[in-house]
Structures are given as structure tokens and as C-alpha cells.
Structure 1
Amino acid sequence: MKNIELLAPAGGKLQLEAALEAGANAVYFGLKKLNARTGAQNFAPEELAEIVSEIHRRGAKAYLTLNIDLSERDLGLAARTLGLAESCGVDAVLVRDAALLLFRPFFPKLSFHFSTQAAVSSSAGVEAAGSLGISRVVLARELNRDEIAACCGVGDVEIEVFVQGAMCFSCSGRCYLSSWVGGRSGNRGCCASPCRVKWENESGEVGNPLSMHDLCLAQHIGALGTLGVASLKIEGRLKSAAWVSRAVELYRLALDGKLTDEDLANASLELGGYAGRQMSDAFYQGTLGSLTGEGARVARPETGQETSGTEGANESVNSLSIIDDPAGGTLFNFTYQAETTQFRIPPQRIANPRRATSIVELAETLKSTLGSEDNDLEISIDPAIEDLLLPRNACNRLADQLTAFVRQSSKSSDGRVRDIALPSEVTQLLDQRKHPGCPENAKTLGMRPTLFRVSLQQAGKLIEKGPDFLARRKLIIDPKLCASSDVTGLVKSIRELGDVVHAVALPAVMYEADLKPIQAFLAELSGEVVFEINSWDTWQLAKKANAKMIAGPGMAILNSLAAKQLQQLGFAANWISPEIDQGQLEELCSRAQSPLYLTVYANIPLMQTRVEMPSGYGENHILSDGRNVRLRPVREGSVTVFRSCVPLDWTKLKNPKVRVAQLVVDLTGSDTIEPRPTSTSLFNYDRRLR
């Protein structure tokens, strides 16, 4: 198993050193901007060359995360970040946004990996990645052993699998819940982990039905190697250096055959105790239940206290250790925001003890001066010098030195990448956005929607309204296709709808068992209808069937170059992300060169999950949290979709700067074709998307 890569997280400098020291073959990390863990310490662009050089010196590889949805304003920084990464010798970048695929050919020294945020969940998605020039895919975490096996050996694309760490309740890249709650998008690295809080059903039962156990596949790494997995990935860029060290050490020893099965099991439990959650290999084993709930919180062995296990906590500690210097004098070892230094006060002669300061008094002063409510300072004093006295002027000089060090350490980079010469082709792509937009984007926000996204049952009810209603409207049909679907019956029903069909939707989430029915569905209808594509997996299947395509809400965009890339890949139109804010929306509409679709009414799918829900929290039960966010889970295809009970509604807004080809009313999450909600939401339209 020595050819399998052990890939470790590096949320900051201490975690990076811990990972390398413990034996990681590669590390993944982010810069201050544009990565999926903004809560980590991350690295300044100015540090990247030195960081990569040190990683390579230690015989490891450096992978840079650039794995978020990019807004229009992010594109220049994203391009410069690629340029910086290439110039510094970064081995690969992890990506999600289609705009970066447009840039890829112009950075030939960089390998591109699909992040788990790209939501690849089948061998078809891996095949798609290979055709896009992606050299590695990080698979969805909810796949079982056989599904992972099917993805291995597809062309020359390497497979990376998460083996340890936190798991998301929602399929990765398919969650809007944090964004819906407060504008903090998980798809842009700002997730507030609302799935970890208490939720209540309509019967008054309160629990943690959305809070996942942690993943641990330590006992399966031999099997993963046999399947052909290239890289074992440890999640944890928000974990402490101590946790990273222990996790990497465990997997290093296991890969090197130095642990018995019993030792491996015990070490895995230790990791679970440290993280504060139970360990689980259920997805890998093909089990979809008993993955959430109160069991997702356990007492840490060393404290006996329950922990929430929130991923947002940065566990680095600011500390000052005061010890006796064997060479004479006193040493002050100071760590602040992962930077470490040492100061020394030489031996002092105390002429008047009344005018001196005790070491304990000095420590209390430094704690109040250098610490704060948000950055507490832990101070330890060598018992051998607790009675030591120091002159006040020496104490004042030390305080000045430590304060200056804090100021210097706190001068954080703004995260901007500057002075990078971009390839001329990339500059041209960025400049082309200044040209006039697409003439097909002629409808402004406030006009009457004429495109409805509905289920087959809803389509039948709309047809009953008569020819006058449908004369002014077209339908996108979502048949909820999956492995158990009656393909023949679905095809017949869609054909009976006739010319009213604008497009037919393929699922956003699909797995290996869904491949054959989707292929059969495409084979029957590809010459007759346009398909709404909602994942890289179904794009590959539709492309091979020579189907006509539009990008659906499952492949929604925030920027014009993502739209351009998708257009080049065969999409006749692109769907705007519903979590976009007003400023981003206006900018996208002014620069897009392809037709755009905009959802103006919908019960947004806030989460899509493969997890089987505990009793009382499953399908058609209403769940609410302490902020009165209300969710309704409904089985749709291969997943359970959690939709907001309060719909997004932009139908009453008027904005001539928002110009699109289609304004869409999505009724697929509604029980009726004529919803009359008592309350609605603008989502992020009137606030800033983070």
C-alpha cells in the first residue's frame, strides 16, 4: 500500500508542520481568499512560495484549494491565484467553478482536481472529469464500496476518497441551508453549520437529526487500495495541529502495516473522542440509517464534557511559557496566532525589592495587555521561579517587545494576489466580459414569468386549465428519475404532453444504480426534447446521447465565464444560482454572453441527502430550528430533498438591470399549482452573499 497517497489538511502553519512531521505524502490548504474553509487560519499569498518550497523539501506534494462558487468580482483574483500557484510550483488546484475550467489550458504546469464540491457521484461523473482535463476526482462522501469501485479505473482519472473527519448531512455542493439562514454560503466557504443545531418536529420532539457522525475508514484502507483508490484524504482544515498529527500518524502506521486491527480500532476511537463525535463507516458499508442524532455528540474522554463538535472553531492557542534559563536569566517562549518567538531577560540585580515586580504580577499584566475576550492568552510559569523579582524597566521592555510581536503577527494579509502576469488568453477572457451582453436576455425582473418547472402530476393539472393558459407558457418537466423509475411510462407521459414541453430535467444527484435508467431515458427522448442537466454525471450521459441541453439549477452559476465555459460544452442556456445577491445578479446580467434563466419563485431545495432520517423527522414532517427556519423533507429520486416551507418570491420585484432569457416559476417543491404562501423570502437579494 506504499503507492497510496496519504493526504492531510493544513488549515494553518502549525497544522502544516504537524501533517508533514507525521508522514503525510501531500497536504491541501487554502489562501486567505476563495477557498471552502474561510474559518481556517489559511495562508497569505505572500507566503505561498515559501510554503510550497518547504512542502517539497519534505518530499510531499502541495495542493491548493480554489473550490468555491465564484462571483463575477472574484474572477480576476481567481485567475491571478492560478498564476501564482503555477509560479510557486503548486502541484494541483482543487476546483468547483466552471470558469476555472475555462482557464485551465493556459496554466499547463498545474494539475486540476475536481473537489468534492463538484458533486461527482458516479463513474459517469469521473468520465466527464477526464474529458474536461481533470486529472483527479474527490468523490462524494456518501458512496459505498461498490460505487467507489465503479469509479476507479475510469480512464486515467485518479480517485481520491475521504477516510477521516467530519461529514456533511447534505450531499457536498448541494446545500443552501447556511446561505438561506444568514447569507453565509457553504458553496463559498462560509458555512455556519446550521445542521448541527437542535431541530424540532411538529410533535414537539427535539433532537439533532441533521448532525452527522464523523467518518472513519481506517479499517478499510487495504480494501480501498485494492479497489484502485489513489489518495486517502483526511478532512480537517479547521482542526487543531494535535488532531491533525494524531490522525496522520494513525493512517501512516496503518498504511505501513505497523498496526494490528485491534490497535487500529482503538486509535480510531481516540480520534472520535478528540473530535467529539462518534465514528462511522456506514456509507462505505452501504448503510444509510443511524448516521445522525444525539449520537453525533459524545463526551470527550479527557474532560467528560459534551462537545458540539462545531467545525468552525480554530483550536490554535496563544501561549506564553516563562521558564528558568539554564545559562542564567529568564526565558519567555511566546506563541501568538501560530507565530512563535523567544525573549530573554538576563540575570538582574534587585537593589530595592519594593520597586521590583514579581514574575506572577508580570504574568497577570501581560495576560491583560496581550490577551482579549476573543484571543485568550494561556500563561505557564516554571514553579522554580515563581518567587522571582524583576526590575520594572526590564518588565516594561519585555512588554513592549511582546506587544510589537503581537502587532506584527496581527498584520494579516488582505488575501489579494497582485503583480502576477497572466497569460494573454486569460486576460482576453476577462476583458471580453466588457462587451455587450446576450440579446436573448431581453426579459427584465418584474415581467410575467412564462416558464414553469413542474412534476409530471403538476403538468397534468396545468393542462386541465385549458389551451389559453398554456398558449402563453411552457413547462420544464422534472420526472424525478432514478433506479426504480418506470422509464417506459415516463417517456409515454412526456410524449403525450407535446409541444408544451420546453425541457425535461435529469436529476441533480445520481448514483451508479441510476445510470442505466437515465441512459435508457436519454436514448428514447434525445431526438425529441431538450434536457435540463443538473450535474457533471448527467452531462456526460447526455453528451454521449447527442442530446440538446440547457444547464439547470443543479449546475447554477454566479459568473459570466462559468456561463461561457458551459456554453462551449454544449449548454444552450445557463441557470443563475438562487443564492445570488442583487449586486452580483446585476453584474452577471450585464456581462453574460449566453442566455440566462432565473428562478423567481420556488420552495428552494436547501439540502439533498442520502441519509435515511430517524423516525419522526422523515418525509413530510416539518422541521424547525430556534430561528423558526422550517424545512419539509420529501423523497425525490435517489435522495431526500429538504425544501424551505417559505418560498423564495421575486415576482413582485422590479429591476431593469436584471435581464434574462427566462423568468422561471418552480413549483416542484409545492403541493399545489397555485401556491398562496402566508410569507415569502427574498433569500439573499436584499443582503450580501458571503
Structure 2
Amino acid sequence: MTLSIRSTENIFISGNTADMPHQKNKPELLAPAGGPEALKAAVEAGADAVYLGLNCLNARRGAENFSLSALRGAVEYARKNGVKVFLTLNTMVSCRETGVAARILHAASDTGVDAVLVTDPMFLPLIRLYPSISFHFSTQAAIENSAAISAAKELGLSRAVLARELSEQEIQACCDVDGIESEVFIQGALCFSVSGRCLMSSWGGGRSGNRGTCTSPCRAIWRINGQNPQRRMSMHDLEMAPHIQKLGQLGVSCLKIEGRLKKAQWVSRAVSAYRKLLDGDTLEEVSALLKPLGDYTGRDMTSGYFDGQRTDMCGESGRTPSNEETAARIPQSELNPTEEENDETVFHLKVKTGSGRIECEVISENVDSDAGNFDMPLTAVKKARRGLPASTIEKNLQETEIEGYKLGTCSFDQPALIMAKRNISAVVEKTAAILRTSAKRPTREIQGIDLPQNVRDIIERKKPDPRNKKELGERVDALRVDYEKLPLMGKLLFQFKKIIIENIPTEDSKLQKAVMSLPKQCVIALPPVFYEDRLPAYRKLTIAAAKYGIAVEVNSWGGFYLARQSGARCCAGPGMAILNHTAALAYKQIGIDSAYISIEADKKQIEQLCSCSPLPLTMYVYGFPALMYTRAAGKCFSPDAVLEDERGIKIRPSKSLGGLTVLRSAEPMCLLDTKNPRIRVNSLAVDTVGINDNENLIQTIKALIHRRIPPMQPGIRFNRFNYNRTLA
């Protein structure tokens, strides 16, 4: 069934796809090109296509990447050798960045790039304007079932990179969708979180995996209840060499090697190995090429997800690299030192605390004066032993790696002032975030691109939807709750304009009765992650919702497809949250009634979106957010476990439908005490799904009704997420 899409001036069309069966031919071999040397290595080793990114708006901002002029040379070089070039534009985009994103897309078209990889919905209205380019959904778009890839097809994408945690049968189901190609990872690093569903790095310091700045917290040491430190979430590396022929038989169109952060020698080995396998060599014949790929990181290899095995997929990096591979991991500047190897920009920091607040100014040639100023509350320290001198900020900055920068001077008006440790950490994190953001600013070459009027019309900021009139700081009016907790709440529920219900039973004997009994202000939330085996159940649920006039909250493209097929009214939940107004326009055009602001957005980003969103917005202001979803089974995931890393981040695991483990923060995000007249939304939402204790749940809801901060257990503190820092 074709999606019912509203007819508008900017209607989406699936003009880049064709309704014809897949031809199960030899798959395309796609290689990473983190920089020019890796590009040359990939082409010479036999890649059919390469993927690469510019210095901004790509999911590997730590790679060498390419300037716009270098991109032209890369496309020309690849074209001469019969190799395609795919450009990554696969991050979430803020309002300020929509113009840059559109200009990069326009430049890609002019340059002759074959395809762009995208995640943000803002690109959907632009597909029809650039018919010479194929649009591919990145793995960050969380394409994890046949419904999701069907949605991608109807939205006009020609290919989708499948989630990395799929089994053979699940990949087969996606490949069986005609008219769109499937791309599968075959070699490289694996994330502990399912694809596109991780907030852990952002929660811990404002560096978002959804924006290309992940700090890999899953590779860190974690303790259970304060004991037994281990790298519990450090995944083995992916190696699909034994299954290459099978993937071709399934109908996979493209085999993708992960590794834009890896050296050219590694890329050459990886591409050579898989080229030989595709051309008919045996595993034994290419083993000499495959073994060093794992030695490079020192991690074991796995194809467990494909095999349906989800245990024993994590562990310490154990193998010792060979001398050759060790040399390959050392930057060339260290092997052949030059005078230019310390080509870093100096920055300075001024810290003032005399006013009773922490007022900071970051000074650098790359940092605009407005962007370099920030302030935050100064926490009182009653006992000196619980704090550190303000001058500790300088020491910590010297020890913090900020690519492209080095600290010059750090001045204080009160250097001996004892500050809370979290204040010191916050200043360092905010300073680093400002510098990292400035280092990846778009070049004047990109900013000077003149966009066609039809593109400018789509990305233009317009007046916000008039329903966005509730200021941050007013009483919350939306409550998210687990279905099983509804009987506890009684009349308390009617104090809220909207009730979002998670985990409604989907068994045939319970489903109809459960949906029939819901009040009209209820919304049924589909989960952000579900796989092929859950499609029949959620299809029945959305049909029942449509029958009884209950709206459906969609949190994935698969959920969106099911809701639209059933004819249910739908809104976008936290799993499909947005950062920019053009994404809001895209949702509006495909029949989504409202959307959540991304929970990881910072204050300026939220203010900008509220000023120009054409869609009613919901803002998450309290709850224990889900920081990660994982399919990997672990012994540490007992119900009473609290995992804590060296930075003090605490998470609690819990099981969800479909065998997933949800890792929620053990400390709540709270903006209930924050007032901001520049932030106006349609609804302020509270999430109680992470509250397991019934008494605590009722106390929390009563406090919300009376506009009070919910009570907290001793030792638990509130977290404002990225509100007062910069989302990198």
C-alpha cells in the first residue's frame, strides 16, 4: 500500500526508485575514505564506491575529511577509475545549519557526487529538486525492519543502510522489499547501542553521536553497584567474511566497510580482502589479509547478530598488534616529524566568579565573540575538601584533547576560590564544546554557494505554528506512562491534556479491550526500536488505534509506515525528534501532526526551533531518559544493577518488549524549574516510564500537578542535559 501523503507544494515523490524485483547480482563493495590517502587506497584495492565527508555535518567529524575543493578532485579521481562517490550528510542538523546543509547538497550535485547519505528529515523535501543524486538513508536513520525500508522507498530514497544488529532472516525481509536497495555493514567497529539510538556521549558531555562527535562511552570502564570495573559494553568488531556469498544471495545491494577513522593501510587490506572474496577466493586464501584487520584495534571479531547469537559479544581488547600494524596506527607526523606537526590554534580562557556566577570568555581567532561567552550558576561549597581551586580548570584544560587547539593562557579573578567539582567539569566541557564546534564550522567556500530559489523557499524560516504558545516554566500538560501503571493513577490522569501510553499489550486477547478503554486524550506510543517479528503485533495495534480514534505516537520510520497504512492520526515522539524547522516542514507534509524537540538540543537550538517551527512542538522537561537501547545480552543487566563510569554517569538497565535492554539514566533530566519566554511550545511533557517504584510514581505525578519538583532519593541529583552547554 502506498503511503497517504498530503498534497502540498513540496510533495515528496519516490522518483528515484523503481517498483521492480531485486536482481540478486554481485553486491557493490563500498569503502571508507576518511581522507585523500584512504581514498586512493580504496580505489587501488578494488572498491566499487567510496563514501566520504566534508569537514562539517558528517558522522565522522574526527576523520581527516575533505574540503569542498578537495571533494571536486576526489570525484574526478574516482570517476576516472570507474568508482562512485557517496557524500555523507548523515547528522542531525540544527536550524542554523540548514542553509549549510542545503549548500553542501547543492555542491554535491554540481560536483557530480553519485549519492548522499542522510539522516535528518530536512532532506526529504529536497529529494525531488536534485534528481541527479541518489539519496540513501544512513544507518543513523534506524532502518531495522521491512516497514522502515518501505517507508524509505515511499519517501523517495533509493537505498537504506540497514541497522547493524539484524539477523540473516531480518536482512532477508528488508531485501524482499522491491524498489529500494539495501546496504549492509560487513567489517569494522560495532556500537553497543542499536543503530541511531544512543544519547550516552551527549548526556556525558554534550558530544553527540548523532552529530558526529561521539566519545565512545561504551568503550569505557563501568562498575556494577560500585564494584568490579570492566569494559562491559565494548563490542567486538564486525567481520562478515564467512557470509559474503550468502549476503549476495539474500539480495543485498551493497557491502559496506566501516572505517573512516582508520589509516589508508587498513582500508587497503580490508578492501583487498573483500574484493577477493567477491571475486571467488576462499576464506583461507584471504586469511592473511583479514587477520590484521582485527589486530589493528586489538578486539575480537564477531558476526553474532547475523547468526542470531547475542551473547559474548563484548570484552577487553586482548590481541597484540603486529609491529607492522602498530606502525600503521601511528600518525604519519610521528613517524616522520616535520616542523608543521604542531599546527594548532591557540585559545585563551577568562574566568570570573566575583558576581556570584561563573562567567567565562573563550578567546580564539576561530571563535565568534558571542559564541565564546557563557555563564552558569556557581555552586556553594561548604567544606573545602569537597571542592577544588578554580585554577584546576587550567590543569584540566591542558589535559583535555581538543583537536586543532592548544591552551594559551587561563586567567581568573579569584584563582584560589574553592569550586564544586561539577562546576569545574562543566566549564571544561563547555569550553571544549565551543572550540570543537568552531573547528568544524563551514568554510567560506560553502557559505558562498548561491542556492536556487526553490531550495531557499524550503529552508526559509517562517512564522511558528500559533499553537506553540506554552512557555518553558509553565505547568506540564503531557504525561508519558507505562500501560501497567494506569490503574494506580485514577483521576490524577485527568489533570493532563495528553497521556502518552507505552507498552500497551498486543496479545489478541488483550489488545482490543486495552485500546477501547483509553480516554480520547490518550496517545498510543510505538517503541523506537522493534524488529521484524513484532511487525504483525504493531500493525494490529495501529489498526485498532485508527478504529477507535486514538492517535499513534511514532518513534521510528517503521512505526510511521504502520500508522499511515492503518489510517491512524500520528505524531512524532522522542524517537523521531527534530532539531530544525525544515524537518518540521517535512513531517507536516507527510501527515505527522506534531513533533518532539530533540532532548539533546541546547538552549539556543531550542529557542531557534521554537521561533520558526511550522509544526506544533512538544518539549521533554522531566524524566529518566533512555540513553541507549541494545540487543547485546549482558550479565550486568540485572534489575537491581546500577552501572557507573569513571565520570560518575549512572545508568539502570531494564528489559523491554522484543528482548531489548533499555539503559536509562539513574538520575533525572529536569527543566521544571527553568523559565524561558523564548521557548514556546504546544506541550511540555514528563516521562514517568523510568520510575519503577509505585509510591515514588504517585508522589512524582502529584508534585507535577501542584507545579513542584518531584522528590528525589538522597545522593541523586538533577541533570539539565545540554540546556546550559553547547551541543557539539
Q: TM-score, normalised by structure 1?
A: 0.82
> 2:304: which partner in 1?
282
Where structure 2 has 5 or more consecutive residues not aligned to the other structure, the ranges are 1-23, 344-400, 405-438, 701-710
Q: 2:641 aligns with which of 621, 624, 641?
A: 621
CA distance in 2, matches of 1:618, 1:457: 21
The alpha carbon displacement at 1:269 in A equals 2.7
Q: 1:478 aligns with which of 502, 507, 521?
A: 502
> 1:355: which partner in 2?
none
CA distance in 2, matches of 1:505, 1:289: 29
1:373-424 CA-partner distances (Å, limit 9, x unpaired) = 999xxxxxxxxxxxxxxxxxxxxxxxxxxxxxxxxxx999837513323222
> 1:458: which partner in 2?
485
CA distance in 1, matches of 2:673, 2:510: 38
Q: Are the structure 2 counterparts of residues 212 and 618 from structure 1 closer, same or farther at C-alpha, using a change threshold of 3 Å?
A: farther
Contact 2:25 2:248 in 1 (8 A): no
Query: Tell me, what secondary structure is at the counterpart of 1:6?
Result: strand
Q: Are 2:458 and 1:429 aligned?
A: yes
The alpha carbon displacement at 1:487 in A equals 4.4
The alpha carbon displacement at 1:496 in A equals 2.1
1:543-568 CA-partner distances (Å, limit 9, x unpaired) = 11111000000000000110110111
The alpha carbon displacement at 1:47 in A equals 1.6
Query: Tell me, what secondary structure is at the counterpart of 1:642?
Result: strand
1:329-373 CA-partner distances (Å, limit 9, x unpaired) = xxxx999799xxxxxxxxxxxxxxxxxxxxxxxxxxxxxxxxx99
CA distance in 2, matches of 1:451, 1:427: 35
Count how many residue pairs are aligned between Structure 1 and Structure 2: 595
CA distance in 2, matches of 1:551, 1:530: 11
The alpha carbon displacement at 1:450 in A equals 1.4
CA distance in 1, matches of 2:68, 2:560: 35
Q: Are the structure 2 counterparts of residues 427 and 452 from structure 1 closer, same or farther at C-alpha, using a change threshold of 3 Å?
A: same
Q: 2:204 aligns with which of 181, 201, 205?
A: 181
> 1:318: which partner in 2?
333
Contact 2:504 2:511 in 1 (8 A): no
Q: 1:80 aligns with which of 93, 103, 120?
A: 103
Q: Are the structure 2 counterparts of residues 316 and 90 from structure 1 closer, same or farther at C-alpha, using a change threshold of 3 Å?
A: farther
The worse-fitting range, judged by mean Cα deviation, of 102-111 and 672-681 is 672-681
Q: TM-score, normalised by structure 2?
A: 0.78
> 1:29: which partner in 2?
52
CA distance in 1, matches of 2:52, 2:267: 13
> 1:292: which partner in 2?
314
CA distance in 2, matches of 1:454, 1:319: 55
Q: 1:517 aligns with which of 525, 528, 537?
A: 537
Q: Are the structure 2 counterparts of residues 447 and 80 from structure 1 closer, same or farther at C-alpha, using a change threshold of 3 Å?
A: same
Contact 2:479 2:686 in 1 (8 A): yes
CA distance in 1, matches of 2:265, 2:329: 12
Q: Are 2:463 and 1:419 aligned?
A: no
CA distance in 1, matches of 2:497, 2:150: 37
Q: 2:688 aligns with which of 629, 649, 667?
A: 667
The alpha carbon displacement at 1:51 in A equals 1.1
Q: 1:605 aligns with which of 626, 630, 642?
A: 626
Q: 2:80 aligns with which of 50, 57, 69?
A: 57
Contact 1:6 1:231 in 2 (8 A): yes
AA aligned opposite 2:448: D
The alpha carbon displacement at 1:106 in A equals 1.0
> 1:441: which partner in 2?
468
Contact 1:273 1:301 in 2 (8 A): yes
Q: Are the structure 2 counterparts of residues 57 and 303 from structure 1 closer, same or farther at C-alpha, using a change threshold of 3 Å?
A: closer
Q: 1:131 aligns with which of 130, 154, 166?
A: 154
Q: Are the structure 2 counterparts of residues 120 and 320 from structure 1 closer, same or farther at C-alpha, using a change threshold of 3 Å?
A: closer
Query: Tell me, what secondary structure is at the counterpart of 1:37?
Result: coil
Mapping of residues 129-168 of structure 1, within 5 Å: 129-168=152-191
The alpha carbon displacement at 1:275 in A equals 2.4
AA aligned opposite 2:607: E
Q: 2:518 aligns with which of 493, 497, 509?
A: 497
Q: Are the structure 2 counterparts of residues 158 and 480 from structure 1 closer, same or farther at C-alpha, using a change threshold of 3 Å?
A: same
AA aligned opposite 2:251: G
> 1:262: which partner in 2?
284
Q: 2:653 aligns with which of 630, 633, 638?
A: 633
Same amino acid, percent of matched pairs = 42
Structure with larger Rg = 1
Q: Are the structure 2 counterparts of residues 471 and 604 from structure 1 closer, same or farther at C-alpha, using a change threshold of 3 Å?
A: closer
Q: Are the structure 2 counterparts of residues 664 and 53 from structure 1 closer, same or farther at C-alpha, using a change threshold of 3 Å?
A: same
Mapping of residues 270-419 of structure 1, within 5 Å: 270-294=292-316, 296-302=317-323, 316-318=331-333, 414=443, 417-419=446-448
1:585-633 CA-partner distances (Å, limit 9, x unpaired) = 00100010110000100101100111111x2344441100011100001
Q: Are 2:633 and 1:595 aligned?
A: no
The alpha carbon displacement at 1:202 in A equals 1.1
AA aligned opposite 1:533: V
1:517-550 CA-partner distances (Å, limit 9, x unpaired) = 1111122221320000000011111111111000
Contact 1:437 1:590 in 2 (8 A): yes
1:305-334 CA-partner distances (Å, limit 9, x unpaired) = 9x9xxxxx9854126879xxxxxxxxxx99
CA distance in 2, matches of 1:205, 1:283: 27
1:474-517 CA-partner distances (Å, limit 9, x unpaired) = 31100166xxx424314423422323x43110010111101111
> 1:92: which partner in 2?
115
Contact 2:55 2:440 in 1 (8 A): no
Q: Are 2:33 and 1:10 aligned?
A: yes
Contact 1:491 1:525 in 2 (8 A): no
CA distance in 1, matches of 2:71, 2:447: 13
AA aligned opposite 1:204: Q
The alpha carbon displacement at 1:206 in A equals 1.5
Contact 1:31 1:415 in 2 (8 A): no
> 1:683: which partner in 2?
721
Contact 1:41 1:314 in 2 (8 A): no
Q: Are the structure 2 counterparts of residues 424 and 488 from structure 1 closer, same or farther at C-alpha, using a change threshold of 3 Å?
A: farther
Q: Are the structure 2 counterparts of residues 460 and 320 from structure 1 closer, same or farther at C-alpha, using a change threshold of 3 Å?
A: closer
CA distance in 1, matches of 2:106, 2:115: 12
Contact 1:106 1:423 in 2 (8 A): no
Query: Tell me, what secondary structure is at the counterpart of 2:323?
Result: coil
1:227-284 CA-partner distances (Å, limit 9, x unpaired) = 11111000000001110011011001111113x2323445433311122211001000
> 2:418: which partner in 1?
none
CA distance in 2, matches of 1:186, 1:415: 26
CA distance in 1, matches of 2:329, 2:573: 37
1:273-300 CA-partner distances (Å, limit 9, x unpaired) = 1222110010000011111123x44322
> 1:350: which partner in 2?
none
AA aligned opposite 2:567: N
CA distance in 2, matches of 1:374, 1:125: 37
Contact 2:464 2:610 in 1 (8 A): yes
CA distance in 1, matches of 2:301, 2:27: 23
The alpha carbon displacement at 1:185 in A equals 0.4
AA aligned opposite 1:317: Q
Contact 2:277 2:283 in 1 (8 A): no
AA aligned opposite 2:718: T
Q: Are the structure 2 counterparts of residues 631 and 471 from structure 1 closer, same or farther at C-alpha, using a change threshold of 3 Å?
A: closer
